[in-house]
Amino acid sequence: MINIYTLPVWFLPIDEYFELTFAVITLTISLFSYKLYTLGKQRQIKLFGTSFLFISISYFIQCICNSNIISFLENNSYISISAAAKHILLVMGIYSYIFFYILGLIIFTYMTFQIQSKKLFFFVLLVLLLSLILVYDKVFLFYILSILMILFIILFYMTQYFRQNNKKTALILVSFIILLLSAVAYLFSTENGRFYIEGHILELVAYLTMLINMIVIVKNAQKKG
C-alpha cells in the first residue's frame, strides 16, 4: 500500500462515510450547476458543474478504496495471491482517485482563466499527468498541484469579489480558502494522522458552504426566470 496518508485505524470506518458524504455533496453541486446552466446557458457554469462531477467521481472511488482497506484489515485469512491482487486494486483505486480529482481541479482552473482553447487544456492536462506518472513521490506532487490550483482559483474569486462586491462570490471564495487549508493539512498527513482528520473536517465545511451557496443561486435564478 502506497503511503498516501497516515491515520488512526479507528478512523477508517468514519473516513469511509466522510468520502461518501464528499461524493454526494460534490455530485449535488454538479447537478445544481447543470440546472443553473439550463437557465442561462453560461459556459463557465457548465465547466463548474463538470469539474465537480469529476471531483465527485474521485470521492466515490476513494470511498470504495477505504471500504476495501477496512475489509482487508478485518480479514486475515487471505492467501498471498488474493492479498497481492487486493493490494494492486487498492493502488489502482488511489491512482484513479488522484486522476479524477486533478482532472476536476484542472477544469476548474481552466474555467477561471476563461480560456477558449481546448488544445491548451489538453496540453496542460497531459503535462500534469506525465509529471505525476514520472515523479517518484506521486502523492506529494498531487498535494502540491492541488494546493497550487486552489490558490489560482482563490485569486480568481478574490479578484471577482473586489470588482463586484458580491456576497455569493464571497461565499465561494471563503469555501475555497477553507479547501486550501484542508489541502495543506493533507500535505502533512503522510506523517501525522491528526492532520488527515483535520483536513476532512475542513473539507466538509468547505463543500457544505459551496452547496448552500449553489442552492441559493439556483433558487434566485429560478425566481428571476
pLDDT tier for residue 36 given thresholds of 50, 70 and 90: confident
Mean pLDDT across 125-149: 84
pLDDT tens across 71-82, in order? Answer: 555 554 433 334
pTM higher than 0.95 for the full model? no
CATH of domain 9-224: 1.20.1070
Closest Cα partner for 94 from 64, 117, 74, 123? 64
Average pLDDT over residues 157-183: 88
Per-domain residue ranges for the chain? 9-224
Mean predicted confidence (pLDDT) in 163-188: 88
Whether residue 171 has pLDDT greater than 70: yes
